A and B are shown apart, each in its own frame.
Chain A
């Protein structure tokens, strides 16, 4: 089989370009993710957590809201 050097070079170049482009986009996404994490942490602080002591498993409860 005759190897097409020029075709291989083109392919290698294209792969490198695609990888570089993907890396650039991922870096931008990571920056956005960091900001999103900060906002999520702030939200969790504001929303608080209920006292879950005494119940390890999730359960359903029906109560009268008129009480």
Chain B
């Protein structure tokens, strides 16, 4: 199980309308460099892994993005599975960072906990669960 963590700036940008979870374009990038989730706000604050071997700077677009009510008072942000295939060499990363590709604002990230290497010819997939990437409910709005 992988826990999705928010950047501190996310809630502020959500409230200010800089991020629209329902209609903006979003993307995911790979990073192998630690960042400060309290101060990072835009994708430029994240050091992505080098382009090549199947990785494109800017990451992969999220598809099937939706923002809907999963249960009374519980809202879910969802997307299709996504990932990367290493070709011509390996890809090493630790963090998968999701950002708003329309405004460059950061949403959140998964920390694999240790370096992950996608060996040449292998595919790494983030299989988004039935509970979506994240859920927000009354308990998180206190």
Q: Interface residues, chain A, CB within 8 Å of chain B?
A: 33, 36-37, 39-40, 43-44, 47-50, 52-53, 55-66
Contact = CB atoms under 8 A, between A and B. Distances in A.
A53 B22 contact: no
Contacts of A43: 63
Contact of A59 (B63, B85, B127, B133): B127
B4 A58 contact: yes
A48 B64 contact: yes
Contacts of A40: 22-23, 65
B110 interface: yes
Interface size range of chain B in the complex: 20 to 34
Nearest to B112: A60
Contacts of A64: 121-123
Nearest to B64: A47
Contact of B130 (A44, A55, A62): A55
B124 A59 contact: no
Contacts, number: 80
25 contacts: A33-B23, A37-B22, A39-B23, A47-B64, A47-B80, A49-B80, A50-B64, A50-B80, A52-B128, A56-B130, A58-B1, A58-B128, A58-B129, A59-B1, A59-B127, A60-B2, A60-B116, A61-B124, A62-B122, A62-B123, A63-B122, A63-B125, A65-B85, A65-B123, A66-B121
Given A33-B23, A37-B22, A48-B64, A57 B123 contact: no
B86 to A, nearest CB: 9
A55 B112 CA distance: 18
A6 to B, nearest CB: 36
A36 B121 CA distance: 38
